[in-house]
Structure 1
Amino acid sequence: MAVTTFFWFESAAEAAAQRYVEIVPNSRVLNIARLADGSAFTVDLELDGQRVTLLNGGPGHPLTDAASIQLIVDTQEEIDRLWDALVEGGQPGPCGWLTDRFGLSWQVAPSVLPQLMIGEDPAKTAAVAAALQTMSKIDAKTLQDAYDQA
């Protein structure tokens, strides 16, 4: 058995896949299934080891933020680089979310966030949540400071 993530694009699956493998380290396009006219029908790729399939299925099933790809990274520099590259031509959202130029939603979050959110002190968790709600692109130091000062 294999578990993969599958996203329906109107027509930009191949361009999206190429952009994603440029941005996300350790990523590659695995296979492109082409139609008779040469256009991509499905594109299989790996994003840092996570298998994803993109389909050019035409209109009718637009992407929404109900499904997203989450990138969990260790440094603020990684947050900044990934966020800036992915949001280019797209739209920022709240709490580390963004929608890229192709309409796919992403979350770019620091690896420390789960530790800050599931601590034993509810006041610290609340302080982190309050700080997070003021952000679009996440600032990990600000979240850590909120935790430490609560």
Structure 2
Amino acid sequence: MTQIAAIQPCLWFDDRAREAMEYYVSVFPNSRIVSIEGYPDESLDEHFAGMSDKVLNGRLTLNGVDFVCLDGGPLFTFNESISFVVTCADQAEIDRYWAALSHVPESEQCGWCKDRFGISWQIIPENMGELVNSPARIQVMMSQKKIVIDELQNA
């Protein structure tokens, strides 16, 4: 029997991986930091100058999903072409995640938000497909920043 390889997202932070890991574990239930390996002592190699206390390889689980992350410097940044979908049971759960993750108001649209680390999230109800099953409801959703279930149901 062939074993299926696990696929894990890898998050490249400039220099805040440890802070992000601790924050995300506090936001999502059933989450934990699995391990954090730091960069080697910078005195051993000039390539590691300024990287002491930074994350070379971090592993964490967020609500059952495994992630890896690292501090790699400013070469790459996050953008909206990749986002993580958080399906929520009700409006209270949407409100809780939105409050915890939305930190860039100009990036909010249709349930999408961006956190303080630059990662994009989609905070949506688990029955989103059902809630946008008509042109009127889609129009309401397009005008929303945070999804408000009652507004969609009443459209």
Counterpart contact for 1:21–1:29, Cα < 8 Å: yes
- 2:119 maps to what in 1? 104
Q: 1:63 aligns with which of 78, 84, 89?
A: 78
Q: SS of the residue aligned with 1:103?
A: coil
Counterpart contact for 1:90–1:102, Cα < 8 Å: no
- 1:11 maps to what in 2? 15
For 1:57 and 1:3, how far apart are their aligned partners in 2? 20
Q: Which runs of 5+ in 2 are unaligned?
A: 41-51
For 1:63 and 1:83, how far apart are their aligned partners in 2? 19
Identity over aligned pairs, percent: 33
Q: Equivalences for 1:61-140 in 2 at 5 Å?
A: 61-87=76-102, 89-91=103-105, 92-117=107-132, 119=133, 124=134, 126-140=135-149
In the TM superposition, residue 90 of structure 1 has moved relative to its aligned partner by 3.5
Q: SS of the residue aligned with 1:95?
A: coil
In the TM superposition, residue 10 of structure 1 has moved relative to its aligned partner by 0.7
In the TM superposition, residue 32 of structure 1 has moved relative to its aligned partner by 0.9
Q: SS of the residue aligned with 2:154?
A: helix
Which residue type is aligned with residue 101 of structure 2?
Answer: L
Root-mean-square deviation (CA, aligned residues, Å) is 1.4
Query: Bigger CA drift: 39-48 or 100-109?
Result: 39-48
Counterpart contact for 2:88–2:94, Cα < 8 Å: yes
- The yes-or-no answer on 1:32 pairing with 2:68 is no
In the TM superposition, residue 18 of structure 1 has moved relative to its aligned partner by 0.7
For 1:145 and 1:43, how far apart are their aligned partners in 2? 44
- The yes-or-no answer on 1:48 pairing with 2:66 is no
For 1:70 and 1:12, how far apart are their aligned partners in 2? 22
For 1:41 and 1:69, how far apart are their aligned partners in 2? 23
Show CA shifts across 1:43-96 (max 9, x none). 211111111112211111111011111100111001001100112x43351001
For 1:38 and 1:95, how far apart are their aligned partners in 2? 38
For 2:130 and 2:68, how far apart are their aligned partners in 1? 31
Counterpart contact for 1:9–1:55, Cα < 8 Å: yes
Task: Name segments (4+ residues, structure 1) moved above 4 Å.
Answer: none
Which residue type is aligned with residue 151 of structure 2?
Answer: T
Q: Which runs of 5+ in 1 are unaligned?
A: none
